[in-house]
Amino acid sequence: MRKLLRTIFLVDLVQGLMVTFRTQNPKNIVTEQYPAQRPKIAERYRGAPRLNINPENGQTLCIACDLCALACPENLIVVGWERNPETKRKDLINFTYDTSRCMFCGLCEDACPVDALELTQDFELASYSREGAIFDRQILEEGIKPTKYKF
Amino acid sequence: MAGTFLDSTELVLNMGPQHPSTHGVLRVIVKLDGERVLGTESVIGYLHRGVEKIAENRTYTMFAPYVDRMDYVAAISNGLGYCLAVEKLLNAEATPRAQAVRVILTELNRIASHLLWLGTHALDIGAITPLFYCMREREYALNIFEKYCGARLTTHAFRIGGLQYETYEGFEKDTNDFCDMMLPKIDEYEELLTGNRIWRERMIGVGILNTEDCKAYGVTGPMLRAAGCAWDIRKALPYSGYEKYEFDIPTGQNGDTYDRYMVRMQEMRQSVRIVRQAVADIPAGPIMAKVPKVLKPPVGEAYVSIEAPKGELGYYIVSDGSTQPYRCRVRPPSFVNLQSLDKMARGSLVADLVAIIGTIDIVLGEVDR
């Protein structure tokens, strides 16, 4: 009898609808209005790569040791260097980082002995061309500059 | 074969590979008699990337990010399985602290995986609301992953020998908050679905697979437990310190779609229980065991299986003494569980086939590898 009444009065469906209505309270909204509202990115987020420069003298921190290129599973890092005859050290000439193949695993970051290569919190990596996804030394040092839109 | 309009001739149809309810790129060739399914044949391989072959050309450390891309819904479980297998080859063991953090993250990942399953499965059956709620709660788990290791989906959280990252400040609080938030939310989903007559009509008695069939097909995970067999690798062959935590193995009786739903809901609650115990007692100490920088495991082979959200996930790695695996074979739970689709779907209706595919909880990235 009780079961029949429950069936007739749609108790099970009303119960479910109660949950739905409870959630419709505007204070429960969790959707981020992404381009207008910037998302909170975690400190450790692995996004666009950056080649750090020494803030004191503007020189690159990279010592061209090639460890990041060796650690990369996709072989997408190419370090161009030249032996400086005076200091006998390697000078960084160019550094290419192909983000189109990168899976942001962070192994290059871990391998870097001087914390020169770092994956940053920038995540807007879209580009209009394939060439645009290949970062050279200049982009890596200055950081990506995604187009800013006004809302 | 030409028949009149009223003749019920058999019809062969393709369901997928772009059907929204096949959870990816699964193609099911269905033989139909009217609305009734006479037989099915799954065609897989649309997402094949050759992960096992890639392993042979990468060092052990380099291959770790790739395993995340197999079952991308439960990437942390994949990483754990792979790391455990290589550690077994190396005769190394993760430190107690690393093990505890691994357990916490893996269980959070299990909840996240089950939430995604619940949302999409309910969507297949026609309940759209749970999807939004599940995605909302899953977000909190993904936020913890993001804060911990810097990625949300394909996390690459664990390294061979332990962890790369120390827990961040507020990790315990975030996880405890997640647990406190999760239990009432699971009750909420149950309120929405469990008693709902449409949900029950669509699920009870659909896609029955009994214990014998499960064992014959090698089906593991929630599907096996829903059939009444309390087999859980976390209990049977404990790894990563699971023997220290108290939890139950939820089981069903009938092995139908409804039981599998109930088992997975209970599993989420048990996962919350494990996470709470693990967070309360994270041992101090180093996070990385003493493993060499260049991994050269001795010649030999190792098989390690873990309880992934979808079933038994096994890694079989053969080492020839070099820096690269000679062979890496993955035993993916989704791939094996998918075999039972034909057995379950035979004689059911087309609409039930959608429910059955959903209940297997397949991820095509793992099926095809």
Sequence-ordered strand ranges (E) for chain B:
10-15, 27-33, 36-43, 158-159, 162-163, 300-308, 311-319, 325-331
Residues 6+ apart with CB under 8 A from B368: B25, B44, B45, B46, B47, B48, B49
- Per the CB < 8 Å rule, is A119 touching B197? no
Interchain contact, A103 vs B164, CB within 8 Å: no
On whether any CB of chain B is under 8 Å from the CB of A110, the answer is yes
CB contact under 8 A, A44 and B146: yes
Whole-number percent of chain B with pLDDT over 90: 14
Report pLDDT digits (tens) over A24-34. 888 878 888 88
Task: Report pLDDT for B316.
Answer: 92
Please say if the pLDDT value at position A53 is more than 80: yes
Nearest to B65 among A16, A73, A119 (CB): A73
Mutation for testing the A interface, residue in B185, B191, B193, B324 having most A CBs under 10 Å: B191
Higher pLDDT residue, A81 or B304? B304
A140: number of CA atoms within 13 Å, CB side?
25
A87 is in an annotated binding site: no
What are the residue boundaries of the structural domains of chain A, listed by start? 49-142
**Chain B contact residues (CB < 8 Å to A):** 58, 61-66, 69, 129, 133, 136, 139, 143, 146-151, 154, 156, 164-165, 168, 188, 191-193, 195-197
For B134-158, what is the mean pLDDT?
A: 89
Report the distance separating Cα A121 and Cα A123, nearest Å. Answer: 6
Query: Distance between CA B369 and CA A69 in Å, rounded?
Result: 26
Q: A6 to chain B: which residues are within 8 Å by CB?
A: none
Class of domain A49-142: alpha beta
What per-residue confidence (pLDDT) applies to B7? Answer: 58
Checking ipTM against 0.85, whether it exceeds it is no
Work out the pLDDT band at B272, boundaries 50, 70, 90: very high
Mean residue pLDDT of chain B comes to: 87
Q: Would you tell me how many other CB atoms lie within 10 Å of the CB of residue A129?
A: 7
**Residues from chain B contacting residue A75 (CB–CB below 8 Å):** none
Shortest distance between the Cα of B147 and any Cα of chain A, in A, equals: 5
Best B188, B190, B293 member to test A by mutation, with max A CBs in 10 Å, is: B188
Per-residue pLDDT tens digits for B104-116: 999 999 999 999 9
A23 touches chain B (CB under 8 A): yes
For A103-132, write each residue's pLDDT tens digit.
Answer: 888 888 888 888 888 888 888 888 888 888
Residue B2 clears pLDDT 70, i.e. is over it: no
Q: Note whether A123 contacts B: Cβ–Cβ < 8 A.
A: no
Q: Is A48 annotated as ligand-binding?
A: no
**Separation CA B183–CA B221 (nearest Å):** 22
Pair B261, B117: CB distance under 8 Å: no
A44 lies within 8 A of chain B by CB:
yes
pLDDT category of residue A4 using cuts at 50, 70 and 90: confident
Distance CA B116, CA B127 (A): 14
Q: Does A16 touch chain B (CB under 8 A)?
A: yes
pTM of the full structure:
0.87
Measured distance CA(B366)–CA(B51) in Å, rounded: 10
- pLDDT at position B1 is 46
Once rounded to an integer, what is the mean pLDDT over residues B248-271? 89
**Annotated binding residue at A72?**
yes
User: Higher pLDDT residue, A151 or A23?
Assistant: A23
User: What integer is the mean pLDDT of B340-346?
Assistant: 88
> Could you tell me whether strands A134-135 and A90-98 are parallel, antiparallel, or unpaired per DSSP bridges?
antiparallel
Residue A148 has pLDDT above 80, yes or no: no
More confident residue, A143 or B323: B323
- Residues of chain B in contact with residue A12, where contact means CB-CB under 8 angstroms, are 195-197
Q: Which residues of A touch B139 (CB under 8 A)?
A: 30
Q: Residue B8: is its pLDDT beyond 70?
A: no
Cβ-defined contact of B150 to A44 (cutoff 8 Å): yes
pLDDT for A64 beyond 80: yes
Mean pLDDT of the B204-232 span: 88
How far apart, in whole angstroms, are the C-alpha atoms of residue B319 and residue B311?
Answer: 26
DSSP symbols for B167-233: PPTTHHHHHHHHHHHHHHHHHHHHHHHTT-HHHHHHHTTSS---HHHHHHHT--THHHHHTT----H
A19 contact B CB<8A: yes
